[in-house]
Chains A and B, each alone.
Chain A
Amino acid sequence: SSELTQDPAVSVALGQTVRITCQGDSLRSYYASWYQQKPGQAPVLVIYGKNNRPSGIPDRFSGSSSGNTASLTITGAQAEDEADYYCNSRDSSGNSEVFGGGTKLTVL
C-alpha cells in the first residue's frame, strides 16, 4: 500500500476550481511534488516545493500544504487539464520516494 493517499477520482465543471489532495505522514516533514499524466504520455511536473511551477506550466496550477496534507489546486480548470495527477514525496524514512495512487481528474 502507498504511504501517500489520494482520492481515486475527482470531477470539476469547466472553468471552476478543483483541489486534489494527498495525505501522508511524511508530508509533515517534506513537500510534495505534483505530476500530470495524460494517456500514453510520460508524467509532467506541474508543482514542486512550497508552490513552484516549472517553466511553461500555467499559473492556474498552484500547490499548498498543511499538516499531513498536500494540495494541488487548479483555478479555472480547462478541458486540457483532464488527466491523472500524482503526488510524490519522500517516504517516512526520508531515504526513498513514494508516489500517491493517483487521482483521475474529469473536466465536465
Chain B
Amino acid sequence: QVQLQESGPGLVKPSQTLSLTCTVSGGSISSGSYYWSWIRQPAGKGLEWIGRIYTSGSTNYNPSLKSRVTISVDTSKNQFSLKLSSVTAADTAVYYCARAHSPGIASHWGQGTLVTVSS
C-alpha cells in the first residue's frame, strides 16, 4: 500500500521560499503512470490545487500560483518536492501531497503539514 508523507519547515519568513518534500513509500515514484500533486488548505477554508508532476516529468500548475511554484521529482530518494517563492501570510496553510492515477482522481494522500508564514 502506497503511503505519502510530507516534510519541511513549519515556519517560513515572508518573502522567502517555502520548500516541502513528499516521501513515497510502498512503491516506486517512477513506476506506473501517476500524477504527483500538491494541494493546500488554509485554516477553516477550502482546498486549493497547487500543481502536479506526471511520471514523465511534465508539470501543470494553478494559473494563480504558476509564477511562484516549482514541482520536481527526485527518483533516487523516491520523493517529489514543492517550492513556492516570495511567500506571504496568505500562503499559510496545511499542505498535502497526493497521488492520482488520472487528473483529479487522487486516491492516496499524505496526512498534511502545516506551514505558517510569519516573521
Residue numbers of A with Cβ under 8 A of B are 2, 30, 32-33, 35, 37, 42-45, 48-49, 54, 86, 88-91, 93, 95-102
Contact = CB atoms under 8 A, between A and B. Distances in A.
17 contacts: A2-B46, A35-B106, A42-B109, A42-B112, A45-B107, A48-B102, A48-B105, A88-B49, A90-B103, A90-B104, A91-B63, A93-B63, A96-B49, A97-B62, A98-B49, A99-B48, A102-B47
Given A89-B104, A96-B60, A97-B103, A43 B109 contact: yes
Contact of B62 (A32, A35, A44, A96): A96
Contact of B47 (A35, A90, A93): A35
Interface string B98-117: 00001111110111100000
Contacts of A97: 37, 49, 52, 60, 62, 103-104
Interface string B35-61: 001010000001111011000000011
A33 B109 contact: no
Nearest to A90: B103
Chain B at the A interface: SS class = strand
A47 to B, nearest CB: 10
Contact of B96 (A42, A45, A89, A90): A42
Interface of B: 37, 39, 46-49, 51-52, 60-63, 96, 102-107, 109-112
